[in-house]
Structure 1
């Protein structure tokens, strides 16, 4: 059992924890083999303070919030979002937290589920390949609901978000690559632990209860990559947010789980794959924070299609390509890109997971940052081009890299390789681009004036406002 007298501000020492035994136990890492890993990661997260974060990390946290809000508000128009909202309203519940873009409130767990689903339904939200997946859509919804209900200042939200974000990325490093490769959607599984840690931080839980929150989230963690292209994928984000929030609230009330859930026998790491790398989980990332490697999407599709879009766009522009000027296209991508290799998509959701469709849109010069583009991507003119594109998946290539080969009608052979896993160097320019994206996708739902109010609030001094102040601007357009 962990020392219940440990306070929020103290980093714990790794220590022996209760563990079960079972067949093949000699080959299973004990808590000590991971250096008390759950304890150590929770302790590091609990130390995060707003004023101790570098300015770029604070800026990125606000950019993640801005980007998340835009995706969530725009996502409320999608059928999956409406269905989840209707189910939550049928349940009834205390009006504790806002459903963004809708002007109504639900209980905190309900808001986490609805807002999390809405924020991921467009597949336009940010990414970090340390996870590998979408940290913000798993962490923000539950944390936002909790912060709004508690009237927390934005500075506390930022610190808690970074604490959850860093924990999720470290757990991603712990179980990579087997966890993702075996079919688990890391946004759903690892994201639930990031959500739990963020909420534990905002609640100022002591170390023991924070570890129990991680254990409760670990035992609820679920989500299959086989669901990509269906409504179940965005539901994963809502489920992760809800599970993390509920886990922290239960732990606060005294609900007990194991305190070594990451490393114990048949715990999270071993149950979800064959990889267990505590050294990688504890190593320091470039710049000291994983959030500095956050990648924002500026194409409204699966992140693993982005390099193919960029490569095809560059070839089209440099060589003035048109559908009539080429005789063939081949795309080389990593073996894990089976997630975005739907051959004949029939819905807008499926087109976002089709390398062929993405490349066809780029060849046609369509604006893949516009949501409407993907609504039309299943039409015959686009799919006629897509059917003549060949995709080859190669072991050893990552999720973010693609090479596009074009055989031109004049017998030229053209080639372009892009790896989109490159964080922006100019963070100020990135912030402006995120703000522009927010306005473009949120204004049709809440209006340009409210978009401006939200952006001004987020850009203001982070000690001067609370989350309820922000959420008052996030309802339907005022008349």
Structure 2
């Protein structure tokens, strides 16, 4: 039996809820967002999301998980109007969204948001682009849908609180379903009442488990969120009904998945900021929880060079909640390596680049890295925040004790956006060029940099051209 959620201001009566109307309020806010009201900085952030999503999806399209999802998408007897990115294949919008979301998440190199408690573009952009291509939507329409869809997702995630993730639900799968629903509902022209119905249909489909981390099942969480969110919006657009309080109501989404639902939390956290301001872009092809350890060791290496033989012991002090996220002690596959902070730290100690090639089956079994891994201790502490820096200590044979803490959970400020774009272009080139070639890669960068609002979305993203 699920406990009654500890909602702020609860009266103790299960039949009288102080959170009545939460779904409707979110639907009205999401429906009110307009492209013409978006600031230049918000458009820059949307541009960054599109470029990063496209690079991750192109690179992921040749991964085993991407190939399998493509094969399944092609089994559907449908009108092939949406591109499966990185291939010359087309399928239905829902099946293309599934294949593209799996590919986007396959390398675990796609963006994320701490407010959303998961990855954002793999679900929202995959759904919005596939549906938008089928509808011949413009760039402005798709960008508007992405910003609006993410706004709703983050509001719902923040209100639901941390208990769902701590229990084992994967936010990319659960909250991502609402994000994709909101984005697709905007493209389909649903009003606030229609979107509230779509959210109700999303609530009954929203799923995804953290036990899948380190396997292709995690990629499926993103794929199902994208396609289920689109389905919810499409059904609602045709009059399919759902409870109007499916998020906050008794036996609804929050009731079953959370003990910390608080509808006031989103405003307390976000203030007047848009959800897109929380998006983070990865520099390492692995779980975000490992990044602070990688960057901490890299910082130490800039201050003091050392060899493998110089290292006696390393300690990584983390939140005890990390044990259920990225603390696979002895990974044997590349996917498991992405969720092993010990493997990630061994790469950093060795001075290796932490792109996709660092997380293969061969690399996690590399004797040099295994030897380094065996000198790394993970120290989980209940007093350390989950979203906070890892405390790194490296002890050398000289007796030196080197320490660092690097916070990797702060999104770029408006002033930092130009530098962020340059970094994302470099990342995009590394991911896309091996698959589509250098010339096409440069052309895609130019198109997305312009972000012409009147350009059809398939033309902007080269979906007519990418082979």
TM-score (norm 2): 0.94
Number of residue pairs the alignment of both structures matches = 455
CA distance in 1, matches of 2:267, 2:253: 17
CA distance change for structure 1 residues 398 and 67 in 2, over 3 Å: closer, same or farther?
A: same
Number of the residue aligned with 2:196: 211
Matches within 5 A, 1:337-356: 337-338=322-323, 339-356=325-342
- CA-based RMSD of the aligned residues comes to 1.9
Q: Which range is displaced more, 371-380 or 229-238? A: 371-380
CA distance change for structure 1 residues 461 and 364 in 2, over 3 Å: closer, same or farther?
A: closer
CA distance change for structure 1 residues 154 and 30 in 2, over 3 Å: closer, same or farther?
A: farther
How far apart are 1:282 and its partner, in Å? 3.7
Give the match's secondary structure for 2:390.
Answer: strand
Number of the residue aligned with 1:4: none
- The question of 1:410 aligning with 2:398 is answered yes
Matches within 5 A, 1:12-51: 27=12, 33-51=18-36
- The question of 1:277 aligning with 2:265 is answered no
Give the match's secondary structure for 1:340.
Answer: coil
How far apart are 1:462 and its partner, in Å? 2.4
Matches within 5 A, 1:160-175: 160-175=145-160
1:457 is matched with which residue: 433, 439, 447? 447
Number of the residue aligned with 1:398: 386
- The question of 1:317 aligning with 2:305 is answered no
In 2, are the aligned partners of 1:445 and 1:476 still within 8 Å (CA)?
no
CA distance in 2, matches of 1:220, 1:432: 38
How far apart are 1:284 and its partner, in Å? 6.2
CA distance in 2, matches of 1:432, 1:403: 29
Give the match's secondary structure for 1:288.
Answer: coil
CA distance change for structure 1 residues 465 and 224 in 2, over 3 Å: closer, same or farther?
A: same
How far apart are 1:124 and its partner, in Å? 0.2
CA distance in 2, matches of 1:200, 1:444: 35
CA distance in 2, matches of 1:476, 1:345: 35
Number of the residue aligned with 1:194: 179
Number of the residue aligned with 2:407: 419
Matches within 5 A, 1:174-185: 174-185=159-170
CA distance in 1, matches of 2:184, 2:207: 19
CA distance in 2, matches of 1:309, 1:349: 17
Please, which runs of 5 or more residues in structure 1 have no aligned partner? 1-21
CA distance in 1, matches of 2:409, 2:386: 9
TM-score (norm 1): 0.91
Number of the residue aligned with 2:208: 223
Please, which runs of 5 or more residues in structure 2 have no aligned partner? none
CA distance in 2, matches of 1:467, 1:28: 49
CA distance in 1, matches of 2:102, 2:199: 22
1:304 is matched with which residue: 248, 264, 289? 289
Number of the residue aligned with 2:251: 266
CA distance in 1, matches of 2:15, 2:142: 34
- Structure 1 segments, 4+ long, off by >4 Å, are 28-32, 473-477
In 2, are the aligned partners of 1:304 and 1:401 still within 8 Å (CA)?
no
Matches within 5 A, 1:433-444: 433-444=423-434
CA distance in 1, matches of 2:254, 2:14: 10
How far apart are 1:35 and its partner, in Å? 4.7
In 1, are the aligned partners of 2:444 and 2:462 still within 8 Å (CA)?
no
In 1, are the aligned partners of 2:57 and 2:100 still within 8 Å (CA)?
yes
CA distance change for structure 1 residues 286 and 430 in 2, over 3 Å: closer, same or farther?
A: farther
Number of the residue aligned with 1:384: 371
CA distance in 2, matches of 1:54, 1:32: 37
CA distance in 1, matches of 2:256, 2:52: 33
